[in-house]
Amino acid sequence: MSIIADDKVQEVRERAAILDVIADYVSLRKSGANYQGICPFHGEKTPSFNVNPARAIFHCFGCGVGGNVFSFIMKMEGLTFPEAVKFLAKRVGVEIEDRAPTVAEKRRMDEREALYRITELAVSFYRRILLEEPAGEAGRIYLERRGVDGKTSETYRLGFAPDKWDALTRHLEKQKAPLEAAEKLGLVRKRENGGYYDLFRNRLLFTIADPYGKPVGFGGRVLDDTLPKYINSPDSLIYHKSETLFGIDLAKPSMREQGTAIIVEGYFDHLALFQADVKNVVATCGTALTGGHLKLLQRYAGKVVTLFDSDSAGKKATFRAMELFLEGGLPASVLELPPGEDPDSFLRKEGERAFASCLSKARPIFDYFIRDLINSHDTGSVEGKRIVLSALVPRLKLIEDRMQRNLYVAEIARLLGIHEDDLRREVGLERLGKAAPRPAGVVKKSASNAEELLLALMGKYPEVARRVREYGVERLFHTGFLSVAMAILDQAISSGEADWSKILEQVESIEERNRLSALFINDGHLDEIDANKAFEQCCQALERAALQELDGRALRRELAKLDSDSERYWEILKILDTLRNKKSQL
C-alpha cells in the first residue's frame, strides 16, 4: 500500500526523464527511436537493453526485464515502489510529504536510528584506537605485516578493539549513548552483577555495511591463533547476517559494470582481491550463502563466481550454494585456486595476472560438481554409478534451461557409460527428436498473442482503439490484458495519446509487465501495416479462440437431459447453432 499521494507519483513520473535516470547506470547510444546499451541486469556483451524516451519505458530483450522509470529504479537499487518514488522525487526536486507515522512506527524508527547512531559511534571509536592510540599498536603492526595500506584501511573502515573489558562501554557512557541499545547490537553484554562489558576485545575489526555504506555491524579477527578466529556482530534490528554481504557497498559499481559478482568467504579474502583491483567481490559474514544473499546479488549482477576454500568444508559450501543457484536460475561458476592457497596468499605469491588466469578458467558449478562426484566414487561399479546418479538426478531436475539440462544429461551419460535415454527418463525428459506433446494451453497462447498484437495496434493507431471500443473491449480481451486494454482506451481516447509508463505501472504481475514493455518498446514493425485489416484479423483469431473455449459437448449433454418444452432447451439449441455457423465461417 502506497502512502504517497497519486498526484505526487504522477508528478515524479512526468519530471523524471527516463533517459537521464537510466544514463546514470547504463551507457546509451541512439538507435532509431530507441536508445540501446548493455543491460545492467544480466551479463552481456552486445546491447539488448532498450530505452524508448518518447514512451518513457525500457525493455531488455536479453533477460526480458522491462517497465517504466520506477520499475527500473526498484530493480536497480533494490527498492520498493514507494521507496523508488521517493528516491526519484529527491532527484527531480518534488517534495513528498509522508503521512505521519503511527506511534508504533515512530518508536521503531527511533529505535533503528539509535542503533545506527551507536554503530557509527563504535566505528569511529575503534577506528581512532587503530589509527592513533597506544592501545592500537598491536593492530597497526598486524596490518603492516599483512601488507594492508592506509588507503585500504580507510576504505574498509578498519578498527581495533583494545585488550580491555570495558573500552567501548566506557566510551559509550561518556557519549551518553544508551547501553541497553548497544546491548541490542551485541556490542556490549550485561554482567551478572550489574554493568556491561565489551563483546570485541583485542581484535582487528572490519566494519560491515549495508549496500548504501551505512555501518550495521562488525567482524572481529584475533591477531594470533586464538580461537575463535572470528567473532561477528549478532543479528539485530539493523543487521541480518542472512541478507547482508560484506563489501557490497564497495563492490556495487564494479558488479554492475561487469555483470558478475565473485563470492568469497572471508574478510581478508575480500580485502586481498579489492587491493589487487578485483572489485566485484562480496563475502559472506561467517554464514552459509542464503536465498536472501542471492536476491541481494541479483540486484547488481547476472552471474556469480564462487571462490571458497579448496578444503572439504569449502567444497561443501560450494555445493550447498549450487543448489541455491540452480533453483534461482543464476548462472554460477567455481574459481579454484591451487590446494592450500587462499586469495590473499595466492595473490601475494603469484600476482594479479595469475589470478586473472584462474578466473578465466572458472568452471560452471554443475560441471564442477559432476566431476567431483565422479572422481570421489568408483564409477566402474554398479553401486558407484548408483550413488553418483542419486546425487545428480534431483539436481538435474532443478536446472530450468532445457538445452542446458539436455547437454548435462548427455555428458553425464557419457562419463558414467550409461544409456542417455535411461537417464533422460530418470530426470523426466522425453527423448530428443520425438515430437513434444501438444501443450494444453495452446489455444490460450494464440489468443494471448492476438491480444498482444491488438494492444500494440491500439497504442499506435487511434482508429484501432476506436474500433476496439465500438466492438466492445470485453468481447475481445479475456486474459489479464483486459485491464491494460481498458487503460489504453481510456487514455488514448481522452487525451489522444497513451501514457505507456503509467499503463505499465498498473500491471501488477512482473512477468506481464516485462512482456508488455517488449511489445511497446519498439513498434517499428507495425509501421507498414494496414491497421484496419490487422484489427479484423485479431478479432477473428480472438473469436475463434473464445469459441474453442466454449464446450459444445457439455451443452449437448445438458440438452439431452432437458425437456423440449423448457426455455433452456431452445436457448441451448440456438447457441449450438450459432457455434456451428461461426465455426464454419472462421
Binding site for Zn ion (CB under 5 A): 39, 41-42, 60, 62-63
Distance of CA 478 to the CA centre of its chain: 31
Closer by beta carbon to Zn ion, 41 or else 206 = 41
Contact present, 173 and 179 (Cβ < 8 Å): yes
Closer by beta carbon to Zn ion, 42 or else 270 = 42
Q: How far is the CB of 41 from Zn ion (least distance, A)?
A: 5
Distance of CA 297 to the CA centre of its chain: 7
Nearest Cα residue to 301 out of 265, 267, 328? 328
Q: How far is the CB of 305 from Zn ion (least distance, A)?
A: 19
Closer by beta carbon to Zn ion, 60 or else 487 = 60
Q: How far is the CB of 40 from Zn ion (least distance, A)?
A: 8
Nearest Cα residue to 355 out of 264, 276, 255, 281? 276
Whose grid coordinates read 449437448?
A: 556
Residues paired with residue 67 on neighbouring β-strands, in sequence order = 58
Burial call 104-121: b when 16+ CB within 10 Å, e when fewer: eeeeeeeeeebbbebbeb
Closer by beta carbon to Zn ion, 42 or else 424 = 42
Contact present, 398 and 327 (Cβ < 8 Å): yes
Give a three-class secondary structure readout of 7-24. HHHHHHHHHCCHHHHHHC
Q: How far is the CB of 60 from Zn ion (least distance, A)?
A: 3
Backbone φ and ψ of 79, nearest 5°? -110, 160
Q: What is the CB-side half-sphere exposure of residue 153 using CA atoms within 13 A?
A: 21
Q: How far is the CB of 308 from Zn ion (least distance, A)?
A: 28
Q: How far is the CB of 50 from Zn ion (least distance, A)?
A: 10
Q: How far is the CB of 61 from Zn ion (least distance, A)?
A: 8
Closer by beta carbon to Zn ion, 48 or else 548 = 48
Q: How far is the CB of 400 from Zn ion (least distance, A)?
A: 17
Contact present, 365 and 322 (Cβ < 8 Å): yes
Which grid coordinates are listed for 478? 479475456
Rounded Cα gap, residues 574 and 515, in angstroms: 39
Q: How far is the CB of 373 from Zn ion (least distance, A)?
A: 33
Backbone φ and ψ of 419, nearest 5°? -70, 135
Q: How far is the CB of 336 from Zn ion (least distance, A)?
A: 29
Q: How far is the CB of 43 from Zn ion (least distance, A)?
A: 9
Distance of CA 523 to the CA centre of its chain: 28
Length of the chain equals: 586
- The DSSP annotation for 485-537 comes to HHHHHHHHHHHSS--HHHHHHH---HHHHHHHHHHHH--GGGTTS-HHHHHHH
Using alpha carbons only, how large is the chain's radius of gyration in Å? 30
Closer by beta carbon to Zn ion, 270 or else 513 = 513
Rounded Cα gap, residues 128 and 135, in angstroms: 10
Closer by beta carbon to Zn ion, 39 or else 281 = 39
Burial call 330-340: b when 16+ CB within 10 Å, e when fewer: bbbbbbbbeee
Closer by beta carbon to Zn ion, 297 or else 545 = 297
Closer by beta carbon to Zn ion, 62 or else 211 = 62
- The alpha carbon dihedral of 340, 345, 346, 350 has a sign of negative
Closer by beta carbon to Zn ion, 41 or else 267 = 41
- The DSSP annotation for 72-139 comes to HHHHHHT--HHHHHHHHHHHHT---PPPPPPHHHHHHHHHHHHHHHHHHHHHHHHHHHHHT-GGGHHH
Closer by beta carbon to Zn ion, 72 or else 481 = 72
Closer by beta carbon to Zn ion, 63 or else 92 = 63
3-state secondary structure of 355: helix
Contact present, 123 and 177 (Cβ < 8 Å): no
Q: How far is the CB of 44 from Zn ion (least distance, A)?
A: 6
Closer by beta carbon to Zn ion, 66 or else 186 = 66
Q: How far is the CB of 576 from Zn ion (least distance, A)?
A: 50
Q: How far is the CB of 48 from Zn ion (least distance, A)?
A: 6
Spatial neighbors of 50 by CB under 8 A, at least 6 apart, are 34, 35, 36, 58, 59, 60, 61, 521, 522
Closer by beta carbon to Zn ion, 113 or else 401 = 401
